Amino acid sequence: MKIKATLERIPGGMMVVPLLIAAILNTFAPNLLRIGNFTEALFVNGASTLIALFLLCTGAQINVKSFGVSVGKGATLLATKWVVGAAFGLIAYMFAGENGLWLGLAPIAIIAAMTNSNGGLFVALVGQYGSKEDRAAYSLLALNDGPFLTMVALSIFGAMGFVDGMFSLQSFIAVLLPILVGMVLGNLDEEMRVFLDKGSSMLIPFFAFALGMGIDFGAIVEGGLSGIILGLLTVFVTGTAGYLVFKALKWNPIVGAAEGSTAGNAVATPAAIAAASAGFAQYAELATVQVAASTVTTAILLPLYIAFLVKRLERKGYEFKEGNIMKVNG
C-alpha cells in the first residue's frame, strides 16, 4: 500500500490530508483521541512541540550568511498582511451601516482575522513548497499573533487609543529561539545539519494532524455566511496580495500566498479589544464567532488555493525542487 506516494500526488497532500482527517475526527468524535498520555500528547496537543522541532531542524539548514534574506521575507509578509487587513477594516468602518456592520461583518472581526495568520499552516505549506530561508521567515511572523496589530490599526484609524502590553518581547524570542538553536548546530557541524535535515519533511504530517484536532466544522455553522465571507476574503485577498508582492520581488510567490489564513488565537482578539475599550463590547460576541468561522474556513480553503496556484505555475513551466521554484521550459 503506497500511502506516501498517494499523498505526494495530492497537492499539499502531506499537510492537507492529515489536517482534514483530524478536523473530521474532532468535529464528530472529539474525545476519540483525548485519552491522555502519549496518544493525546502526540495527536491532540503536540502541534506546538512538533512545530518547534520542525523550526529547529529548518534552522539547521540555514547558512548564517543568508539569515538576512529570511528576515526580509518575514518583514515583507508581515507588512503585506497587516496593510491589506487594515485597509479592509478601514473600508468596513467607512461603509458600515447603522448597525455598525459591513456586509454583515463587524469591522473588528475583519481586522482581527485578516491581519493575523495561522503560523502552523504557514509552516506546513512552506515546508512543502518553500526553501529553508522561506521557512525561517516564520520567526518574524510571530509579531502578528494576538491583538497587538489589530490594536495598532484601530489606533491609526482613531477608533481607540493605543493600548500598551499587547506585544510580548518574550513571546517573540520564544518563537525565534528554536530556529537560532538549529542555526548554531548546523553552522558548527555539517553532520548535524545533514542529520537534522531529515526532520524537516518528516514532521509535517504529524503537526498537521495535531492542528486539525483544533478545528471544529461547527464553527462555520455558528459563524454563519458572514464568517465564511470573512474566511474567503482572508484567503483570496491577503493570500493573493502576498502572492503578487513576492512575485514582484522575484521570490517564491507560493510563500507569499501561504499567509492567507486566520490563526486560532485571533478568536480571542475581539474580547481583548472589548476589554481595552468598552466601546467595542457590543460587537465582541458577533466578532468572535465570525473570526472562529474564518479560522476554520481558511484552514480548509488555503491549502486548496495553494494547490491551485502550484498547478497554475506548473502549467506555465515552473517546478518546485528542493524548496526552490524555477522555470524549466519556455
DSSP string for 17-78: HHHHHHHHHHHH-TTSS-SSHHHHHHHTS-HHHHHHHHHHHHHTT--GGGHHHHHHHHHHHH
Which of the listed ranges 24-33, 155-164, 267-276, 290-299 does the model predict with the highest average pLDDT? 24-33
Question: In sequence order, what are the residues at sequence separation of 6 or more whose Cβ sits closer than 8 angstroms to the Cβ of residue 71?
Answer: 137, 139, 140
Residue 146 above 80 pLDDT?
Answer: no
46 burial type by CB count under 10 A (0-12 exposed, 13-18 middle, 19+ buried): buried
> In sequence order, which ranges of the chain are alpha helices (DSSP H)?
3-9, 13-28, 37-43, 47-59, 67-95, 107-115, 119-129, 132-136, 138-141, 148-156, 169-188, 190-202, 204-212, 218-233, 239-248, 253-257, 269-276, 281-315
Dihedral Cα 34, 36, 42, 48, nearest 10 deg = 80
Dihedral Cα 180, 184, 190, 194, nearest 10 deg = -30
| Domains of the chain, CATH where assigned | 15-314 (1.20.1530.20)
* Contact assessment for residue 106 and residue 287, using Cβ atoms and an 8 Å cutoff: yes
- What number is the average pLDDT over the span 199-205? 81
Measured distance CA(126)–CA(141) in Å, rounded: 13
- pLDDT at residue 163, as a whole number: 44
Residue 11 above 60 pLDDT?
Answer: no
- pLDDT at residue 162, as a whole number: 42
Residue 245 above 90 pLDDT?
Answer: yes
